[in-house]
Structures are given as C-alpha cells and as structure tokens.
Amino acid sequence: MPRLILAAATAMEMEGAISPALQSGTIVSDHGNFRVGEVLLTPLVTGVGLVNASRKAGAVLAKGGVDGVIAVGVAGSYDLDKLPLGSAAAACEEIWPEYGLEDGRGADPRALGFPLAEISGKAIWGSIPLDPAASAKSMGINAPHGLAEAPCLSVSTVSATREKAVFLQQSHRALLENMEGFAWALACLEATTPFLELRGVSNLAGSRLEQHWRLGDGAAAAGRLLEKVLRSACKGGYDQEKREA
C-alpha cells in the first residue's frame, strides 16, 4: 500500500484540506492517518515558511517509506482574473525568487556562478518544473480532467504592495505566491519522490485590503481540489505501475 505524506503549513490549512474528503467519504480516518482506496495518507503540519518546510521535509523523507508527497494550502493570486479568490490549482512549476545576487532588479541566481543545487547531474538555479498529472499517477491516483495548473513562487516575505507583486509576477511569470512549495519540490526531487502541490486562492498578492483576503475560502478550495484528486484513487493502480516499471 503506497504511503503518501499530506503536508500543510498550518492546522487551519490541514483541516480545510481534509474536511471535504472526510465529508464525502472519499477518505476515512485510521489512527491519525487517512485511507483512500489502497492509499494511506499521513498528515504533517510543517509550520509556516521555507525553513520549516525544509526541516520537516528532510526529516520525513530521510526516514524512507514515503511513496509521494501532496502539499496543500493557501496562496495569493497575482491575477484574480485568471485565478480568483476561492479557486484552486496545482503547481506546474515552483520558483524561489530570493536566491542569487540582488542588484536592485531582483535576485539573479546565475550571477553567483554556482547553482542552488545539482541533482542527478542537473543544475537547479531556482526553478523546478512540475508535472501534476504524472506525479499523481505515480502515487496511485489520477489528476482530474481539466485540472487547473499554475506556476508558483515561494517566498519568505509575502508581497505587501501591488508594486512588489507585479514585479515578481512579471519577472518570473508566476500566478501564485506561497511560502513552502519550493522547499518540498526540491526535497522531493532530491529524494526521487513524486510531489504534487495543490493551492487554494486565499488573497490577492500585494493587497492588504480586507476584501482581498479570504483565508477560509482558500483553504476550502484546496480541500475540494484534493478531494477530486483523491476520489480518483484506484485499487491496484500503484501496484500495477510498479509491476510494469
């Protein structure tokens, strides 16, 4: 039976992620874990930010016995026309815009002369492409038809002005801003562990106006998307892929 880590930064995001699947009967509680079909989910609340996510990711992946990681939580949208409040998407890329040489126009990772990491002979300069459908399939589940995808930025300092948000969006062509995804993506890449990130839009990145913040709606949106993904878990799918590998 494949074991997946279900990671969220806060208890609020974890509860929002699990509730729709529990209410629909898609998952059932099992002594602190959750089961869906032939898949076992182990919840892990990491704490907010890249440092906390890296710390927890390293610890849990080092123990082994993990067949995949699903990260869930809220995110800020850079463009509410494309990803409005209460919508959700899977990350198709994770970007860390804070590594490199800061020259007043953003951080240039290549200007340092050495990459952030080298994994399997490939240099990582601050961007990791992701394939949600392939990752889900390798975990024994299937991405729902028409799954929305979005490139994501992971930051340590949340954008508090529209100028900063627009700069990051245009510099990196991202649609969502979060605080943990890149750490999980890098850790899973190094551990050759499938990784799927699901984000619900909770706010307009760069705005501090009350009407642009709906944390509960964002967490619920991530949960509904998770429920759709888990609903597709098929008995024997993971084992069949292992046999064919």
Please tell me what DSSP assigns to residue 155. -
pLDDT band at 145 (very low <50, low <70, confident <90, very high): confident
Share of the chain above pLDDT 90, in %: 80
Burial-class residue 229 by CB neighbours within 10 Å (0-12, 13-18, 19+): buried
Residue type, 231: R
Residue 233: what pLDDT?
72
Residue 60: what pLDDT?
97
Among 78, 45, 241, which residue's Cα sits nearest to residue 164? 78
For β-strands 88-95 and 149-154, DSSP reports them as parallel
The model scores a pTM over 0.95: no
Kindly state the average pLDDT of the residues 163-184.
Answer: 96
All domains in the chain, ordered by first residue:
3-244 (3.40.50.1580)
For residue 67, the SS3 value is coil
Residue 243 has pLDDT above 60, yes or no: no
Residue 225: what pLDDT?
96
pLDDT band at 2 (very low <50, low <70, confident <90, very high): confident
Evaluated on CA atoms 42, 1, 196, 222, the torsion sign reads negative
Kindly state the average pLDDT of the residues 178-182.
Answer: 98
Q: How confident is the model over 52-72, as pLDDT tens digits?
A: 999 999 999 999 999 999 999
Q: How confident is the model over 193-232, as pLDDT tens digits?
A: 999 999 999 999 999 999 999 999 999 999 999 999 998 7
